[in-house]
Structure 1
Amino acid sequence: MKFNSICLQAVLLSSVITGNSLYAQQKSIPTNHTVLVSNQNSLLPFKRLDNLRIAVVTPFPARYQSLIETLQQYAEVASFDFNGYDEHTKYYNTIIVAGSSDELRNDLLLMAQQSAVNKKNVILLRFADKSTGNMLAKTDHNPRVTEMWSGAPTTANQREAAMSIFGGAAITEGKNRTSQTRIGYADASQRGLQIDKMTAKIDAIAAEAMAKKATPGMVVMAVKDGEVIFNKAYGSHTYAQTTPTKTTDIFDLASVSKIVGTTPVIMHLQEEKVIDLDKTMGDYLWQAKNTNKKDIPLRTVLLHEAGFTPYIPFYKSLKAGDIQSTEDAQHQVKVADNAYLVNNYYRDVMWPEMLNSPVKPAGNYVYSDISMYVMKEVAEHETATPMDEYIQEFLYRPIGMKTAGYNPRKRFDKEQIVPTEYDSTFRKGLLEGYVHDQGAAMAGGVAGHAGLFATANDLAIYGQLLLNRGTYGGVRYFKPETVDLFTSKQSKTSRRGLGFDRADADVTKEYPSKLANSSVYGHTGYTGTCLWVDPKNQLVYIFLSNRVHPEVSTRLLELNVRSRIQDAIYETINESKR
């Protein structure tokens, strides 16, 4: 492996165990010029983010834009200058005060001291020569004050400091050293990879896909050894090209929801012994007890071996008056702009129809959306909490998945969300922030098999959590054996794990790509998405698109866009090993 000796401080041996295989590889650690002067309460790097309300205060926000933008990649971070400091920071419990020694005058530092007196966490970040000494020597005894310094406020130093605060970069100098606990956003060229060459390959594939109308736009992201090596947006939200696609755009994940939404909930409940995968649907669901599904084990359901009907087009059975263009007391399930479904349609019609649908003999692999409808129902009955709320509380908010969730129009402007199909048969309009899958929409936007929306960065965080075998940000969310169990091959008749899809053992199928190896697991989505995790190469690959706009098209599949981009990344990694 080739490394730049100037920018690397050390080469460490890191190993990742997945299933029964041990993958050992070298991880380079770039020099970090940030020094942690004091960290008395071990606040840094930040751990769980769900209880932190963070603001960054700088004398001149425009001058510290790189710091602010990098902080905001990790969490919701408000930015202010010192005008109105007291009022602006009143509702935040964690205040990052940053600037040069000259800029951070005593009167400004007194404001920061008051924040610490008010029991807020204060991080004082000084961009200056380290010989200047502590800024707040009088507050050394206050465990709520953490002090840091870096060099001049260059773009690189600002980004390093921001990553250090969140654990995206290890602090390698001084007495208070830290480890990397989150993905980092350092210069990918420092990783010994030919990024320019890889970018040219991906650019060409993306250009071909858009020129041949496979999709109007896309976002591609890759994380290698915990560092983002590629993150780029292409094209526009629609073929009208009025809204350029951004890396921060939110996409409908379609079936990627299965492994990012439903499956982690089931993983958590299984390891907490709330559920037992070898117990049956009848053990957990009263309504299933008198059906042909009562004796089907949950493990069989997760493997898509329960013999369920692959797909039920519920929207085709709607009767006159079930859906209308205006909301009233009887129609409050919003399935799109100007489209409202009659209340409780999922409870009264869809779920009973699924429970009473035909079942073929168990054991053979038949991919079915009903499987994840079932697992969502099991989770909600056992937790007494809607799944969309449960996943936010136990996982997304703590690890910093800022946009991931269901029904995004309740939280974000539609301009941030990439539109999918113009639905001319069911909802009679363009779907902007409403789930593309008809059944999920009719279930209120929250379903086991679809409904989740997110950015590429959120998926990168989740993928790294899995690569870390359950830890992220210095906190453990899953036991290593839980991650290994669900992501490894668990079927005798298919390539599947529990909830997760996997690389096909038949190399002639080149799934998910020609150069993918047997350690790879993840999932694809109908809207033109995928998330693949590769423990052997310590790689997370994300592809997000809206290939169903303005109508469903198979061109993305025919051009093999997702797989070819994945192989372009593998080619770059393999070249670095020569």
Structure 2
Amino acid sequence: MNQLSIKSLTLFVFAMLCAGAVNAQYKQTVLNKTQLLFNKEHAVPLGRLDQTKIAVVTPDLQKYAPFIQQLERYADVASFDFSKYDEQTKYFNTIIVGGTEADLSKEMLYMLRQSLVNRKNIILCRFQDLNGSIPQWAPLLGGRVTELGYPSFSEVAQRNMAMSVFGGLAITEGNSRNRTEQTRLQYTLGEGSGLNIAKMTQKIDRIADEAIREKAAPGMVVMAVKNGQVIFEKAYGTHTYDKKSPTVIDDIFDLASVSKIAGTTPVIMHLQEKEIINLDSTMGHYLWQAKAGNKANISLRTVLLHEAGFTPFIPFYRHLKPGDLQTTSSATHQTKVADNAYLRNNYYRDVMWPEMLNSAVKPIGDYVYSDISMYVMKEVAEHETAIPMDEYVQQILYRPIGMKTAGYNPRERFERYRIIPTENDTSFRKVLLEGYVHDQGAAMAGGVAGHAGLFSTANDLAIYGQLLLNRGEYGGTRYFKPATVDLFTSKQSKTSRRGLGFDRADSDPKKEYPSKLANSAVFGHTGYTGTCIWVDPKHQLTYIFLSNRVHPQVSNKLSDLSIRGRMLDAIYETINEAK
């Protein structure tokens, strides 16, 4: 059999294995009384969100706060009342209107008619009287807007209605032609799941309290999703040990090396799937500067597996010369690495990247975890797309899927108070790091690096985890082929537990990695700042832990106490007890 035939057979066998892989198993255990009365152009559930600018309009912002807040879990929305409706909704192409039939006046409905003239997509969510008489204003909009109804008005009704709009809940009531399926995360905290959520919460609370008491981290956010349903979501502690700012679930954390699988790897998956790159081609093929060096013949696949023999870590910040870093911005120093800390221009291009390319290479094939691997993959991606990686991943994934906070250099997009501080850096930047990447090399590269630099909330990571469990689909749109997800997340190395970019559960039970009860199907990654995401296809589970264990200085107590692993085991124990 020739080499081509062997390769074809291998691909065929892999495709067959993929075909038998576990698909997402959404299980709706919540009674959703929402009815879809008219679905204009199949607007509900909403699909890709990158071209959708959403305004939510209600008669009373306070009264409809649960409705608005639930919608905000899925997308960036602006909320208004009807007082200045025309001017405030001018720049939005989708208008979600919520109200009881008593609150929605004829005048409000006439405003909506004007929006139809202006080619807005209107989704009318009305509460009460679904089975009673037809409202007198119904003919004003009937058949011209997407309309949903709920037979009562309460906080539960508002949340269920909002989830129905985005596909967080399937619509199973009413006309069979207007029923929908779940396509996004469901925020019902384990309702009807059959799991003892209260007992699990007590276990996780105790572990979190221990972590804070032992100063493993000042605060943390923990989240778990099973079968597409958020079964646990809670914030603990405070931003820092001064206890002034309580941690909340939508705080933004420095993900550290979770950036590898949630930032760089999906870009590489996309490029490989589109045949823009070939994982068996070499660094020298894609990178001119690598052609004449010791890395020219190293394949991208080997790089992703951390088997390229690269140096694990180069402490670039220790090599700075007088004048390279200064406290004020100037024409020559515009790379901001922290508050009041500016690096000289093009330091990454002129110093760091050449040093990485010229660094020593050990024998290829042995597993040596190296940050240089993902610096390389970022360079390959940017040379092939001609787009900065931070913008490219927003285009192909984050914006379409509804990952609202995920991205690099968060201080350019969010207020400081939303971002969890990390280390009080006394050796390099001489300041508390607030919204600037903890990793020194990533900071010196302008905050965007292949191995670090990504910031996110737990909710955004949960969306990404569900995409992976769905084998590439989310919100009714496919972003990756199932075979692509299976390839990158499955064990691909003969010498380590690794997938392509992804880390995986260790087969040695003595290592208890990522936890005692984790199974061999689990994949994900940890981050140096005290973060992790683990995805378990067998149990249709995503587990997320975000903390700032490096505050105020680096400490190993989070690992020594096995905080992340013990919390994951508490979740597994709850699942096993329910069987």
The TM-score with structure 1 as length reference comes to: 0.95
Q: Residue 268 of structure 1 aligns to a residue in which SS?
A: helix
Say which is worse superposed, 166-175 or 250-259, in terms of deviation: 166-175
For the 8 Å contact 1:18–1:535, the answer to whether it is kept is no
Cα distance in 2 for partners of 1:19, 1:225 equals 20
**Any idea what the Cα deviations from partners look like across 1:106-148, whole Å, max 9, x if unmatched?**
1111111111121000011110121233653343443xx1011
Alignment partner of 2:354 out of 352, 369, 372: 352
Cα deviation for residue 20 of structure 1 reads 5.6
Letter in 2 for 1:348: D
Conserved 8 A contact 1:255-1:449: yes
Within 1, Cα distance between the matches of 2:129 and 2:568? 43
CA contact (8 A) 1:379 1:387 kept: yes
* Cross-structure match for 1:493: 495
Match of residue 75 from structure 2: 75
Alignment of 1:251-270 (within 5 A): 251-270=253-272
Residues 64 and 153, structure 1, Cα contact 8 Å, conserved in 2: no
Task: Return the letter of the residue paired with 1:174.
Answer: G
Give the Å deviation of 1:174: 1.6
Residue number in structure 1 paired with 2:44: 44
Corresponding residue of 1:533: 535
2-structure distance, mates of 1:193, 1:404: 30
The Cα shift of 1:23 comes to 7.5
Q: How many residues align?
A: 559
CA 22–335 in structure 1, closer or farther in 2 if over 3 Å, else same: closer
Q: C-alpha distance in 1, partners of 2:134/2:457?
A: 41
Aligned-partner SS, 1:190: coil
Describe the SS at the equivalent of 2:374. helix
Give the match for residue 64 of structure 1.
Answer: 64
For residue 133 of structure 1, what is the aligned residue in structure 2? 134
User: In the alignment, which residue of structure 1 is the partner of 2:102?
Assistant: 102
Is 1:441 the counterpart of 2:436? The answer is no
Structure 2 match to 1:392: 394
The CA deviation at 1:105 is: 1.2
In structure 2, the residue matched to 1:124 is: 124
Alignment of 1:476-555 (within 5 A): 476-555=478-557
The answer (yes or no) to whether the contact 1:332–1:343 under 8 Å persists in 2 is yes
Greater shift, 518-527 or 24-33, is seen at 24-33
CA distance in 2, matches of 1:339, 1:139: 57
Alignment partner, residue 14 of structure 2? none
Correspondence for 2:112: 112
Counterpart check, 1:299 vs 2:298 = no
Rounded Cα–Cα distance in structure 2 between residues aligned with 1:18 and 1:433: 40
Q: What amino acid sits opposite 1:312 in the alignment?
A: I
8 Å contact from structure 1 (residues 19, 485) kept in 2: no
2:466 aligns with 464
Counting only pairs closer than 5 Å after superposition, residues 176-191 of structure 1 correspond to structure 2 as 176-191=178-193
Contact kept, 8 Å, 2:22 with 2:537, in 1: the verdict is no
Contact 1:419 1:546 in 2 (8 A): yes
Map 1:89-488 to 2 at 5 A.
89-131=89-131, 132-133=133-134, 136-142=138-144, 145-175=145-175, 176-488=178-490
Aligned to 1:191, the other structure's residue is in SS state: coil
Conservation of the 8 A alpha-carbon contact between 2:489 and 2:500:
yes
Pairwise CA distance, 1:576: 1.1
Deviation at 1:218, TM superposition (A): 0.2
Deviations 1:326-385 (A, max 9, x none): 000000000000000000000000000000000001000000000000000000000000
Tell me, yes or no, if the aligned pair for 2:58 and 2:80 is still in contact at 8 Å.
yes
Cα displacement (A) at 1:217: 0.2
In structure 2, C-alpha distance between the alignment counterparts of 1:270 and 1:148, rounded to whole Å: 41
Q: Secondary structure at the match of 1:315?
A: helix
Task: Give per-residue Cα distances to partners, 1:131-177, cap 9 Å, x unaligned.
Answer: 233653343443xx101100222111100000000010000012200
Mean CA deviation greater in 501-510 or 187-196: 187-196
CA deviation vs aligned residue, 1:438-496 (integer Å, no higher than 9, x gap): 00000000000000000000000000000000000000000000000000000000000
Cα distance in 2, alignment partners of residues 556 and 290 from structure 1: 43
User: Residues 19 and 488 of structure 1 are in contact (CA less than 8 Å); yes or no, is this contact kept in structure 2?
Assistant: no
Q: In structure 1, how many angstroms separate the alpha carbons of the residues matched to 2:21 and 2:482?
A: 13
Paired residue type of 1:157:
A
400-409 vs 82-91, which deviates more? Answer: 82-91
Amino acid at match of 1:182: R
Distance 1:193 1:380, change over 3 A: same
3-state SS of the aligned residue for 2:192? helix
Percent identity between matched residues is 68
* Alpha-carbon distance between aligned partners in 2 of 1:461 and 1:136, rounded to the nearest angstrom: 37
Matched residue, 1:567:
569
> Which residue type is aligned with residue 571 of structure 2?
I
Residue identity matched to 1:139: L
Is the alpha carbon distance of 1:388 and 1:413 closer, same or farther for their aligned partners in structure 2, counting shifts above 3 Å?
Answer: same
Q: Counterparts of 2:28 and 2:172 in 1: how far apart (Å)? A: 13
4+ aligned runs moved over 6 Å, structure 1: 23-26
SS at match of 1:41: helix
Between Structure 1 and Structure 2, the one with more strand by share is 1
Letter of the 1:252 counterpart: D
- Whether contact under 8 Å (2:109, 2:140) holds in the other structure is no
Q: Deviations over 1:9-35 (max 9, x none)?
A: xxxxxxxx8686547978344221100
How far apart in 1 are the matches of 2:252 and 2:57? 28
The 3-state SS of whatever aligns with 2:42 is: coil
Contact 1:97 1:112 in 2 (8 A): no
The one-letter code of the counterpart of 2:134 is G
Q: Choose from 543, 556, 559 the match for 1:557.
A: 559
In 2, Cα distance between the equivalents of 1:251 and 1:22? Answer: 31
1:398 counterpart letter in structure 2: P
